[in-house]
Homo-oligomer: A and B are copies of this chain.
Amino acid sequence: MLTPPAAVHALLFAASGPLTKEHLGELLNLDQKELALVLNATAALLKGSGETLIETADEVELRTSFEAAPIVKKLRESELSRDVGKASMETLAVIAYSTPTSKVGAPTGSVGDGATRGEVDWVRGVNSSASLRTLLMRGLIEGREDPTDKRRIRYTLTTEALAHLGITSVKDLPRAEELHAGAAAIIEHEKADAATFPDPE
């Protein structure tokens, strides 16, 4: 059985940002007086756990505890200094080479600039969401709305990433035309397939 304090904990974890006390009360069918008691119990539940409850007048949020600050700092530093890694390197490569070399210099955001998550998945054959997250966090790629489909995000290399690679444009990448053509062919093929056979699963 899930106790009310544990339910609050789970909800705050899943929300990952602040939740209003009003919203929490609704979700748990509790009035504000009852909720206040439950929140005290949640705070007690979390004591010594590495997480803590932050409470303002009308909001509640989950954070790492004060004592955890040094180890979390170590995590952040290690994340940033780590190698890009094989999966993220591949993801970055697909994004970098997806921009048609002929189109470089055309207004940004036009179709074919960079790649969407689906396109990266197609080329790599595996789910790439974790890699995209890492690359975004490391400031190597940035996302913007796909001009043809606003629900999709199209990722491109940041100017910092280009500078780090020592190039001014993706057309200066090694074997730019050849590798672009390889990736583009797979994407085109998948697009045609997706149009003919809607994904059976």
Which residues of A line the B interface, CB within 8 A? 1-3, 5-11, 13-18, 23, 26-28, 45-46, 48-51, 62, 64-65, 67-68, 71-72, 74-76, 78-79, 82-85, 88, 121, 125-127, 129-130, 133-134, 136-139, 142-143, 200-201
| Residue in contact with A133 in the complex, picked from B3, B17, B78, CB distance below 8 Å | B17
A58 to B94, CA, bound (A): 26
Question: In the complex, which residue of chain B has the Cβ closest to the Cβ of A48?
Answer: B6
Shortest distance in angstroms between A56's beta carbon and chain B's nearest beta carbon? 13
Question: In the complex the two chains form, is A68's CB within 8 Å of B17's CB?
Answer: no
Contacts of A48 in B (CB 8 A): 3, 6
Contacts of A126 in B (CB 8 A): 136-137, 139, 142-143
| Residue in contact with A27 in the complex, picked from B18, B74, B83, B137, CB distance below 8 Å | B74
Shortest distance in angstroms between A88's beta carbon and chain B's nearest beta carbon? 6
Nearest 10 CB-CB pairings of A with B: A127-B139, A10-B50, A10-B68, A6-B50, A9-B50, A2-B67, A85-B201, A10-B64, A126-B136, A14-B72
- Chief secondary structure at chain A's binding surface: helix
Shortest distance in angstroms between A162's beta carbon and chain B's nearest beta carbon? 15
Question: In the complex the two chains form, is B127's CB within 8 Å of A72's CB?
Answer: no
